[in-house]
Structure 1
Amino acid sequence: MTTDAHPLSTDAQSLDTVFALLRDRRRRFALRALADRESPVALDGLAAAVARREAADADGPPREASGTAAPASPTPDATPAATDDVAEALHHVHLPKLADAGVVDYDEADNTATLARTGDVTPFLDEVAAVE
């Protein structure tokens, strides 16, 4: 039997770290937004992307009367208050945690973030995205 090996070390501590990082939905949304970009992302832009994703998830998938999924609609805008809340949480909690783990480079002076080690979390992030 063959298995696809993830590039992450298989020691328990490394796996525990990845799972702890991916446990939080907001961190997963932030990592997905960063994975889509090669250049640094400003905190306000990242917060807006995460807040929009949270707003879309809060609305749930649209349903037709038959119970089947309706055609896709545009992503809802997040409120300015929601975006500010996300920015604060990213700045004080999530980006420092991701930076401490070496997954994200977070420049607090410039308020920009970049995904540092894509191979460590993206395979797991892709698996989670497939079921979310």
Structure 2
Amino acid sequence: MGREDIGVLYEMLSTERRRRALAVLTDAEEPLGREELARRIVARRRTADAGGVEPDGTRKTDIEISLGHIHLPKLESGGVVERTAEGKYDATPLGCDLRRAAQAFETSLDADAREIEGTASPTNRSDAVPASEADDGR
């Protein structure tokens, strides 16, 4: 794989919306239409009071539009997803591999963040002694 190919793969994962779309498509049992894909993206991020709106205020219809005009064409041109004859979308084998790579990368970043948080401040550590119990030397 050349540098240009790696650049294309990075571009596929450069936005959270594409990463979420790829995650939903790789988990789906069958190809999904754009509306169903948007619904599932919202469902994954829904909080108790979201009601069809992502926590950041994005509506399902806005997601559906951005998927159709920006993200799915980009994923399709990169060979990560393909459109079926019925106009639905499915992850390609490359898309499944890319999702696994993204998951491994995110897991690594999460572990690094936990490690940094754990050493940056003793109050974040589970073995830290509350200030009220600390011996201040008096």
TM bin (shorter chain): 0.5 to 0.7
Q: Which amino acid aligns with 2:91?
A: L
Matching of residues 58-73 of structure 1 within 5 Å: none
**Which one has a larger percent helix, Structure 1 or Structure 2?**
2
Identity %: 25
Between the aligned partners of 2:23 and 2:105, the Cα distance in structure 1 is: 11
Corresponding residue for residue 91 of structure 2: 115
Q: Which has the larger radius of gyration?
A: 2
Mean Cα deviation higher: 11-20 or 122-131? 122-131
Q: Which amino acid aligns with 1:79?
A: V
Corresponding residue for residue 45 of structure 1: 36
Corresponding residue for residue 94 of structure 1: 71
Q: Which amino acid aligns with 2:101?
A: F
Correspondent of 2:21 among 13, 27, 30: 30
The two structures, once aligned, show a CA RMSD in angstroms of 2.6
State TM-score, norm by structure 1: 0.66
Whether the aligned pair in 2 keeps the contact of 1:52 and 1:76 (CA below 8 Å) is no
Q: Which has the higher contact order (CA 8 A, sep 6+)?
A: 1
Q: Per-residue deviation at 1:54?
A: 4.4
Q: Tell me the number of residue pairs that the alignment of Structure 1 and Structure 2 aligns.
A: 105
Task: Point out where structure 1 has 5 or more consecutive residues left out of the alignment.
Answer: 1-8, 57-73
Cα displacement string for residues 40-95 of structure 1 (whole angstroms, at most 9, x for unaligned residues) = 11211110111233445xxxxxxxxxxxxxxxxx6954239700000000011100
Between the aligned partners of 1:119 and 1:88, the Cα distance in structure 2 is: 24
Between the aligned partners of 1:75 and 1:31, the Cα distance in structure 2 is: 25
State TM-score, norm by structure 2: 0.64
